[in-house]
Amino acid sequence: MTRIHTQRSLDAASFASTLSMVSKEKGEEDCLESCIGACCSRRCVCVSAMALLLLGVIAAVIACAVILGIPKRSPGTRQCIRPDNQTGFLCDDAATCITASQVCDRIKSCEDGEDEETVMCSDLPNNLPGFLIFRCENALTWIFINQKCNGFNNCGDCSDEIGALADCPSCGPQQWICKSVFYQYCSCIPRSLCRDGTQHCTDWSDEYVCPK
């Protein structure tokens, strides 16, 4: 009579299966250990190769930036506001805001000289961004925006001081209101000129009325 040892057969099968799994795991570990610089198999993730590829991409991007140069701001995007509330020109460092009249004056006020670029300064004022200039009542005349409303007749016709286009505030506390006899002033003169023995106002008010 033949006896069937079922339990013993199952134990043998289970042992074989366990042995196979251990062998498989050890094989994958061996594969990972030997995976240096190249991919082993579909089941073995090659971390070093991926890291090298990523470093290569980063190096390529840096090289391109150095060779081709990082794109600079266009003149039209350089508008900034200075501490004196005047509109200025923003340098490449994104921190320095120079006055409008410092642009294209043949002196590099920005560290990298972007305020004196040939493309922008070769055809004044046509190549200058609009926020840097003020066009006088005489269309052929222009001044830098920071020269408007500064108490001086920079346009030559006083349109930068008393004209509707300029929209300047009234004379400040350090000025005296009068019609000037000198070309350089318009409707205000500095109080420092009062009672100095020289006529600056057409009505002589700077010498007889204006307090020193």
Question: Mean pLDDT for the chain?
Answer: 81
pLDDT at 15 > cutoff 70: no
- Beta-bridge partner residues of 190: 175
From the list 110, 28, 40, the residue with the least C-alpha distance to 75 is 110
C-alpha span between 163 and 153 (Å, rounded): 11
Rounded CA-CA distance 169/177 in Å is: 12
Spatial distance between the Cα atoms of 53 and 2, rounded to a whole number of angstroms: 65
Query: What per-residue confidence (pLDDT) applies to 146?
Result: 97
Check residue 22 and give its pLDDT.
Answer: 44
Q: What is the pLDDT of residues 131-145, one digit of tens each?
A: 999 999 998 999 999
Residues 6+ apart with CB under 8 A from 206: 176, 178, 189, 193, 194, 195, 199, 200
What is the spatial distance between Cα 136 and Cα 141, in angstroms, rounded to a whole number? 6
Mean pLDDT of 165-184: 93
Contact (CB, 8 A) for 180 and 204: no
| pLDDT tens digit sequence for 16-49 | 454 455 444 554 455 445 544 445 554 445 556 6
Query: In the prediction, which pLDDT does 37 show?
Result: 46
* Better-predicted residue by pLDDT, 35 or 178: 178
Mapped to the 3 state alphabet, what secondary structure does 146-208 carry?
HHCCCCCCCCCCCCCCCCCCCCCCCCCCCEEECCECCCCCCCEEEHHHCCCCCCCECCCHHHH
